[in-house]
Each structure stands twice: as structure tokens, then as C-alpha cells.
Amino acid sequence: MEKINFPTLKERFLKYVSFDTQSDENNPATPSSEGQYVLAKEIVKELHQIGLTDAEVDANGYVMATLPSNSSKKLPVIGFIAHLDTSPDAPGKTMPKAVYYDGTDIVLNESLQIILSAQLFPEIKQYAGQELIVTDGTSLLGADDKAGVAEIITAMEYLLAHPEIPHGTIRIGFTPDEEIGRGADHFDVKKFGADWAYTVDGGEIGELEYENFNGASAKIIFTGRSVHPGSAKGKMINAATLAREFAGLLPPNETPEHTEGREGFYHLTKMEGTVEESSLNYIIRDHDRLRFEQRKRKMQEICSSMQQKYGENAVQLVLKDQYYNMLEKIEPVKYIVDIAGEAMRNCGITPKIKPIRGGSDGARLSYEGLPCPNIFTGGHNSHGRFEFVPVPSMEAAVRVILEICKIVEERS
């Protein structure tokens, strides 16, 4: 495919990241933060403006819209999905800036001396000579996944402006709360009505993924007994010490900072407490379903052992499965992955097929009857203040979306 320019893409992305849409795992509402609903309403307004007249947002913050078929053929309905929220792992109120990268370190924040180091993040060097969108060093950027939102909408805008390009019916959907594992909770697969879809929620240019972690969350609550430390012997139960003991009983090298590829992990995401009550929040991840179940059992065994030692009420474990590996559901329809791979190659991009070291809405949707592999957005270093996205990679994602639509039309 020729290298088309998309003049609205960068501006659209910068507009979306100006909305603070950080999800909140402590809020049971959907969406879990008001900013997500504010952005959803703004996107619906924009979709109407570009010509997607059925665009709507429901009470839970889910946006759906349709680009009707303009082809004389009977074609499958395909979908493209991205999420509105940003991770709670880093501040979500962004101050992005565009820089033309010269291959050296980028000073994100001079006053705070926060630097995007080419030594620490050597993958950035491949983008020398390109325009990058970076943070000011105090927040994440939000390319995960507002780059995906911007890319999908830009592709639909292009097809609307070029009715001479034949395509089938295309459904687009934007979900809240993906980052806290709830993105598919209220997604109406039947209403969406696609035969299959692609989440546009991957990383660097070329990523194509149809295998992900099995995921679960774990919260362990420790109840202690506070006694004056001067007379505490044989009486005090220190909940904070219990939390430390529990954490120490997990395998020390099975954490994100020690694992890669298909290696699973336990990830401590939050800890807080006092002598009387403490808590630990973990996420549990593994690509292999058997090892995933073994990891959960390990947590249960530690909890049982500590209950025997300190009393049943001293340690309480709440385990919740979040999603499963989509591989099982994608393999029977592997041709949808092949279409995406062909689209990338047609755009001069080498597909990088690898397992997702995370999850996506697509994993859960695949188990609900909507097969949903994942394609790249172009972003790097998600969930942190060193997140960045090259503008040419975002443009490439738009071209891939357009090429997927073209291949589906030509093959049917």
C-alpha cells in the first residue's frame, strides 16, 4: 500500500490524551472514572461529524458505531476495538510534547531532570529521524490505548472520504476499564454484530498477537492484634509483618522484572497497612493454563499454612480470574490472523508474532464468541512516564487497518 498521509491523526491523538481517563480498580462503577465517560461522549460527537451517524455511547461508557458496506459483494462484518482508559500504574493527567528524535537521550523534564535514556531504552534508537510523541516525565502518555482509538477513527475517516474504495460493513467499538480487567464486562457482542474483530492495542510497529496470559487478581487481607510494643510479647499479631511473611513465601524470581517470553509471574501491585490490618494486591499471570492454576494454588497453600499458624481470621485470600489465553479460540479461525499478517506485509511491515505478556479485551471477547487478535498501535513503554509513540508508526497502523478491510473485500 502507498504511504498515505493522515493529517488529522496526530492532532486527534493529542486531543484524546488531554483527557484524564485513568481507570480506578477501587470503584465498582462502570466506567470506573468520570473522565472515561467524558471522552466517550466527545468521541461520539466526533464520529457523527465524520459521518458515522449511528455512533452512540451507552450508560456504561461503551462506544459503538458502524461504517456501512459500499461493496456489491456479501461480505463478513469485521470490527476494530480499542480502549478509552489509561493504566492506574502512573498518573494519567498528561502533558505530551512532540520531538524530532536525533538518536540520543530525550530530556523529558529539565527542571526535574527526567530523561528518556537511549541506553536504558535502546529500542528508541531505531526511530532516529522520526517525530515522537513523549511525556513531560510526570505521567504516562496514554498511547495505550488512545493511539488505537485515534488510528481506528482516522481509518474510518479516510474510508468515508474515499467512497471509491470498496469495503464491507465495519463495526468499531471503544471500551472503558480495560486496564483493570473489566473492559469486556458489559460489551454486547451480539449488538456489535461482527464476525470477528481486531483490538488495536499492541506495542511497537509490526506486533501481531493472538496468544496472551491467563490472568487473575489476588487480594490478601491480614488482620492483626495491636498491643503496646512494650508489653507485646506473646500477645501482638502484627498484620504488616504477616504481609511481609506472605510475600516472602512466593518464588522471588517469578516476578515481572525477572521473566520474559512465555514465563509467568506474580506481580505485587499494591501494599498498605498497619499493625491491625494490612493488605497485598497481586496479579497472577501465565500463558500455560496448567501453570496458571498451579500459581493460584500456591497462593491458596500459603494462605492455608498461615491460617494454621496465626488463626483462620488472620489471613484472607480473595482470588478472581480475569481472562484466559485467547489462543484456544483463535486457532480454529487462524485465517483472521493471516489476513492481518498479509496486510502488514502489503504495507512493507514485517509482522512480529509473539505472545502478549499481558491481556486485552480481545482475550475475553474471544471466549464470548468474537475472535479478536491484536495488532500494533506503535507505542512503547506503556504504563509509565517513559511511554512514547512514533508518529510514523501510528500512520502505519492506520494503513494496516485500511489494508485489512481491502483484503477482506477482495477475498470474498
Active site residue 85: yes
Q: Give Cα 90 distance to the centre of its chain.
A: 14
CA 396, CA 394: separation in Å to the nearest integer?
5
**Closest residue by Cα to residue 349 from 331, 376, 367, 370:** 376
**Closest residue by Cα to residue 171 from 271, 289, 288, 79:** 79
Judging by beta carbons within 10 Å of its beta carbon (0-12, 13-18, 19+), is residue 348 exposed, middle or buried? exposed
CA 184, CA 191: separation in Å to the nearest integer?
13
Identified catalytic residue from 144, 145, 151, 178 = 178
Identified catalytic residue from 20, 24, 85, 395 = 85
The values of phi and psi at residue 200, to 5°, are -105, 85
CA 144, CA 210: separation in Å to the nearest integer?
18
CA dist 370 to 52, 78, 203, 240, 253, Å?
22, 10, 22, 44, 36
CA dihedral 143, 148, 152, 157 (to 10 degrees): 0
147 three-class SS: helix
Active site residue 286: no
CA 153, CA 398: separation in Å to the nearest integer?
9
The values of phi and psi at residue 328, to 5°, are -60, -35
User: Which residues are marked as active site?
Assistant: 85, 178
